[in-house]
Structure 1
């Protein structure tokens, strides 16, 4: 099985989704892997430092804040990101992530006088928007680039945004309290209209 196929299984196992929900999109090898794998969500993970965990949590909540629906922290996204970094990223991706976290831990306090998690929401957003501006020439931002393979050399801010969205919308809270989740087993209706205010349907984001 290729590494990205394992990523699909990891996301499903981590977020508590059942294999039956995505059974029609999984290969036989993926089903066999998931059937024999332990509960990944309960495994110990100790990849980030305490300060890195605070930074990841704060950045995650800026991407998907709590409003009248759960935010990234409510959905366990920071833990998802740490698990992905520890077990599924390749060396190039980990290096980009660690360099980004080092920048956030060292340069931000120098410039703002406080650690990133201790800044106001407005200041945190300002910093993340500046990171996006600096990364804007990455292929990650290519117009219409919404269904693509994971880009290993994507800049740090892109990694964070992608993992936050991935972790959140495949979590129980994200898929049932933010997306529309009305399971009807063994049925298919390809013509269900959505009004402009409706969210999309829960399902595989991979």
Structure 2
């Protein structure tokens, strides 16, 4: 399962000119967070979601997720993203309250959290200033500078 989680995380945060989710070993973080810091409902949703993803991939693409092309991997994740949310926020809140956080939402959340809190992600993937100094609320970014947030 950890290999599948690594493949999923790498599609969410791929390696480009910066390290990707596999480089930051986000899959270890995700497994630890699901196992140690999630309630039983979230754990079950996550495991069921992984099982459903494997079955969906096998049924629709006749192969495992890791053997799919990048465009197919993106389409598979898009399918599960669309399935995880409704168009009306009130329905999303009710669904989360009754059934827990959906698989894809939790996967994406933990992938981003694990990447941003990893040493590689914080130092090479994001703009990390390790020398504390005075806070300046508005400073312009230099050319090609990475930022903590995206628009």
Q: TM-score, normalised by structure 1?
A: 0.62
Aligned residue number for residue 188 of structure 1? 135
Aligned residue number for residue 69 of structure 1? 18
Aligned residue number for residue 54 of structure 1? 3
Residue 87 of structure 1 aligns to a residue whose secondary structure is helix
* Deviation, structure 1 residue 197: 4.6
Aligned residue number for residue 118 of structure 2? 171
Q: TM-score, normalised by structure 2?
A: 0.83
Alignment length (residue pairs): 143
Structure 1 regions of 5+ residues with no counterpart? Answer: 1-51, 143-150
* Deviation, structure 1 residue 113: 1.0
User: Which fold has the larger relative contact order, with Cα–Cα distance below 8 Å and residues 6 or more apart in sequence?
Assistant: 2
Structure 2 regions of 5+ residues with no counterpart? Answer: none
The more displaced of 186-195 and 98-107 is 186-195
Of 152, 159, 165 in structure 1, the residue corresponding to residue 106 of structure 2 is 159
**In 1: Cα distance, 2:109 partner to 2:20 partner:** 15
Superposed CA RMSD: 2.5
CA-to-partner distance for each residue in 1:125-154, whole Å, 9 max, x for gaps?
010011111223175xx8xxxxxxxx8822
* Deviation, structure 1 residue 77: 0.2
Mapping for residues 76-87 of structure 1, pairs under 5 Å: 76-87=25-36
1:100 aligns with 2:49: yes
CA-to-partner distance for each residue in 1:6-50, whole Å, 9 max, x for gaps?
xxxxxxxxxxxxxxxxxxxxxxxxxxxxxxxxxxxxxxxxxxxxx
